[in-house]
Amino acid sequence: MSTSIYDIPVKKINGADASLAEFKGDVVLVVNVASKCGLTPQYEGLEKLYEQYKGQGLVIAGFPANDFKAQEPGTNEEIQSFCTLNYGVQFPIFEKITVVGEGKHPLYAALTAAHPKAVSVNEVPFREKLKGYGIEALPEPEITWNFEKFLVSRDGKVVERFAPDTAPDAPALVSAIESELAKN
């Protein structure tokens, strides 16, 4: 990846300028989130994961996106309120962005370039599950759906990418996080 993910400008959910550089030295799990998706209950598991490991240097960075069946229609203020009221989210949530297609945010362009294929930890790959709902997933390396997860090492390298239906407490995800947290 030519540009470090730390150098890519993003905005916090309140509109303040930011970058992932504030998390240098931490392990970051970047997740594209949505409030009206069948996977939305993952917010609860993501918050538990964050609470369990934040003292060891884990940050979860949520990026709302309305790219899949308009499942994140809210404003940034509505999204923030939804996350806080329904799931008690304390991990950082950023401004709503586009994660696929021509208008893809540069952060997601960098993430997908660094790790073009998501690992599926379930028996039936998520892309196949979508077909069962009559939905054709975008071709790789595009994001498959809401709640796809990128694990970023303490030095800003994308080390793994997990399919959207990878639960926050899935052993493969937890093991990968713990492995990265153990590195100094």
Residues with a catalytic annotation lie at 37
Tell me the two tokens of residue 55.
């003292």
Q: Which helix (H) or strand (E) holds 31?
A: strand 27-33
d(CA 45, CA 164): 13
Residue among 23, 79, 83 at smallest CA distance from 54: 23
d(CA 150, CA 139): 17
Burial of 162 (0-12, 13-18, 19+ CB in 10 A): buried
Enumerate residues 6+ apart whose C-beta is below 8 A from 25. Answer: 57, 154
CB 101 within 8 A of CB 69: no
